Structure 1
Amino acid sequence: MRKKITVVGAGQVGTTVAQLIAFRNLADVVLIDIVEGVPQGKALDLQQSGCLQVFDSLITGTNDYKDTADSDIVVITAGVPRKPGQDRADLLKTNANIVKNVTEEVMKHSKNPILIVVSNPLDAMVYLAKEVSGLPRERVMGMAGVLDSARFRTFVALELNCSMVDVDAMVLGGHGDSMVPMPRYTTVSGISITNLMDRDQIERLVERTRKGGAEIVGLLKNGSAFLAPGASVAKMVEAIVQDKKRILPCTAYLNGEYNWKGIFFGVPVELGFNGINKIIELDLTPEEKEALDTSAKDVKTTIEEVDAFLGKSV
């Protein structure tokens, strides 16, 4: 039986996610948004591309969460996008209300979906979705590591003038300025970039990766990245729907892994049919561990703000 995937938010990221899921024939798609006509129009436009892109997925546009009933996966992209110069944490209060309402509506109509959160600030919003949904930790995750790693992979390939396909990268930590790109675990055809670049080159690419989202926001002036984020979600969805057991960096709930508990954090995980099959703990140098702990402390601060928003004692 064909899977059913709901994408909440018919903006640029949500539309890209729906498009790529359909193009890959992964599932039927429900595109939902609060603006009347927008999800319906985009869904119809996408459906009409089916005979050209050769897919049979059914695309539904709606403003009613009843149409999302019995979804296998729900991708939450709803929220206010980041503005130039705006820190992700500034978005928390506004987007917390949106994500809370979305999650409540989703759970009214789907008993046990897998949630993939894209809304920013990512680490805080995926934590909020888990708290509101009551779902087990393996079924709630955030899209961040796949995107951040894709940016690092891109910058490495451009620097070395090599095929992007040959580059694998690993970025851990929170989805923000304190993220931790991992040069030792970033390779070109199995060769660590620490053997291919000097320290100054690597540091420059690491810093550009950390500022990758802000760089695009600054260039666009009005809006934020959507093509690479959409492709990142589609990669996660594909791994789950097809039970690929892909090892991908995702935002997962830590319960002692990396010596942290009670936070969502970017770590390598195995993704399959039931969501996160396992979290993989990497051997870290003292310097890498210090950077990861710094990022975790930043994430912990935003999660405490979510707890306060939910009325929980901190």
Structure 2
Amino acid sequence: MVKAVVAGASGGIGQPLSLLLKSCPLVDELSLYDVVNTPGVAADLSHISTPAKVTGFLPKDDGLKQAFTGADIVVIPAGIPRKPGMTRDDLFKINAGIVQGLIEGVAAHCPKAYILVISNPVNSTVPIAAEVLKRAGCFDPTKLFGVTTLDVVRAETFVAGISGERDPAKTTIPVIGGHSGETIVPLFSQAKPSVNIPADKMDALVNRVQFGGDEVVKAKEGAGSATLSMAYAGYRFAEKVLKAVKGEKGIVEPSFVYLPGVSGGDSIAKTTGCDFFSVPIELGPNGVEKAIDVVSSANENEKKLLEACYTGLKSNISKGIEFVQNPPQK
């Protein structure tokens, strides 16, 4: 029996993500948690003719405890989008606080669960999660993941637009680093099968992978962000974790993890100077089996991109750790 939780299930990412998990044959019980509307979302999904049983909880009546207790996997897309007049710092403080509260719930009610953090900024929210779990004495680096799959999905899709490959997912492209702007580094030189990208298109392609989210915000005319593609990416990664838990071998996907705590991570942490970094990881029944070093094989152009990535990422990671160690004054 697999119990999956979506924390932030009523939002723009949470609802389509919950729909995809309801359709997943690997999920037996789907528990939805949010501050509003969750019973309605659960009722709607419960009419779908797939095996997973769906329940929805609100904060009242110990809802968080009921939602999280016994969970095997917790996916966290919770948070608010940036609103007019709100600085990125304002947004960070709100979303950081939301993630901190949810991770405290995980530590209290399902400390052995796999935790998939989607809430932005991932470069900071995953270090926040790690700090909270450390304090609670239940931090397992092999079970904490920052979901960076959307960057991978975009790289696959945009390359297919150039190569003409009909099925983008047939091309494996490692996208490493972090999950915002210049911290996102696609390693097209290590694509399998190899892809031939014309030199005059490379810079624009890299930029599009790094700033694909802006493209969606602009197309939605400020009325939303990348919610549907992010829900798909979150589901794709969750499904891979669940398949690995069930014993499927050879599953590899990039994820933002705590390198010193996973096999093969130490050398990558030394090279990058970052304890948290997204690299391809091999998944197994207990989470991360090993981190795969693709950094040392980057070509000269990619190494330049990585230098900019390291600078931004170190600052983002420090900001997350600082948030927990020295909470902002309310």
TM-score (norm 1): 0.89
1:151 to 137, 149, 154: 154
| DSSP-derived class of the 1:12 partner | coil
CA distance in 2, matches of 1:97, 1:15: 21
* Counterpart amino acid of residue 58 in structure 1: K
The alpha-carbon distance between structure 1 residues 226 and 272, as it changes in their structure 2 partners (threshold 3 A), is farther
Q: In the alignment, does 2:53 pair up with 1:58?
A: yes
The alpha-carbon distance between structure 1 residues 131 and 46, as it changes in their structure 2 partners (threshold 3 A), is same
Provide, for residues 60-98 of structure 1, a one-character-per-residue CA deviation record: whole Å limited to 9, x for no partner. 111111222011111111111245898866632221111
Match of 1:236 in 2: 237
Q: In the alignment, does 2:313 pair up with 1:299?
A: yes
Match of 1:170 in 2: 174
* Counterpart amino acid of residue 116 in structure 1: L
| DSSP-derived class of the 2:39 partner | helix
Q: In the alignment, does 2:19 pair up with 1:19?
A: yes
The alpha-carbon distance between structure 1 residues 206 and 85, as it changes in their structure 2 partners (threshold 3 A), is farther
Match of 1:137 in 2: 141
Q: Superposed, which structure 2 residues align to 1:269-308 within 5 Å?
A: 269-282=281-294, 283-308=297-322
Provide, for residues 108-132 of structure 1, a one-character-per-residue CA deviation record: whole Å limited to 9, x for no partner. 1113111100000011101111110
Q: Is the Cα contact below 8 Å between 2:70 and 2:109 reproduced in 1? A: yes
* Counterpart amino acid of residue 172 in structure 1: I
CA distance in 2, matches of 1:214, 1:83: 15
Q: Is the Cα contact below 8 Å between 1:254 and 1:265 reproduced in 2? A: yes
Match of 2:185 in 1: 180
CA distance in 2, matches of 1:209, 1:22: 29
* Counterpart amino acid of residue 57 in structure 2: T
Q: Is the Cα contact below 8 Å between 1:83 and 1:223 reproduced in 2? A: no
Which moved further from structure 2: 163-172 or 283-292? Answer: 283-292
| DSSP-derived class of the 2:289 partner | strand
CA distance in 1, matches of 2:216, 2:174: 21
Q: Superposed, which structure 2 residues align to 1:59-138 within 5 Å?
A: 59-63=54-58, 64-67=63-66, 68-82=68-82, 91-134=91-134, 135-138=139-142
* Counterpart amino acid of residue 240 in structure 1: V
| DSSP-derived class of the 2:259 partner | strand
CA distance in 2, matches of 1:302, 1:94: 16
CA distance in 2, matches of 1:150, 1:58: 29
* Counterpart amino acid of residue 38 in structure 2: P
Q: Is the Cα contact below 8 Å between 1:74 and 1:114 reproduced in 2? A: yes
Match of 1:219 in 2: 219
CA distance in 2, matches of 1:182, 1:85: 36
Provide, for residues 178-222 of structure 1, a one-character-per-residue CA deviation record: whole Å limited to 9, x for no partner. 1111111224xx2x22xx231111221111111101111121122
| DSSP-derived class of the 1:242 partner | helix
The alpha-carbon distance between structure 1 residues 77 and 185, as it changes in their structure 2 partners (threshold 3 A), is same
Q: How far did residue 157 of structure 1 move?
A: 1.2
Q: How far did residue 149 of structure 1 move?
A: 1.2
Q: Is the Cα contact below 8 Å between 2:4 and 2:31 reproduced in 1? A: yes
The alpha-carbon distance between structure 1 residues 74 and 185, as it changes in their structure 2 partners (threshold 3 A), is same
Percent of aligned pairs with the same residue? 32
Q: Is the Cα contact below 8 Å between 2:142 and 2:289 reproduced in 1? A: yes
* Counterpart amino acid of residue 231 in structure 2: G
Structure 1 unmatched runs, 5+? none
The alpha-carbon distance between structure 1 residues 48 and 91, as it changes in their structure 2 partners (threshold 3 A), is same
Structure 2 unmatched runs, 5+? 261-265
The alpha-carbon distance between structure 1 residues 257 and 16, as it changes in their structure 2 partners (threshold 3 A), is farther
CA distance in 2, matches of 1:236, 1:88: 27
Q: How far did residue 160 of structure 1 move?
A: 2.9
The alpha-carbon distance between structure 1 residues 246 and 86, as it changes in their structure 2 partners (threshold 3 A), is farther
CA distance in 2, matches of 1:286, 1:87: 35
Provide, for residues 281-312 of structure 1, a one-character-per-residue CA deviation record: whole Å limited to 9, x for no partner. 02223443342232122111022122222236
Match of 2:34 in 1: 33
* Counterpart amino acid of residue 4 in structure 2: I
Q: In the alignment, does 2:159 pair up with 1:160?
A: no
CA distance in 2, matches of 1:90, 1:212: 23
**Coordinate RMSD, CA, aligned:** 2.2
The number of equivalent residue pairs is: 300
Q: Is the Cα contact below 8 Å between 1:5 and 1:73 reproduced in 2? A: yes
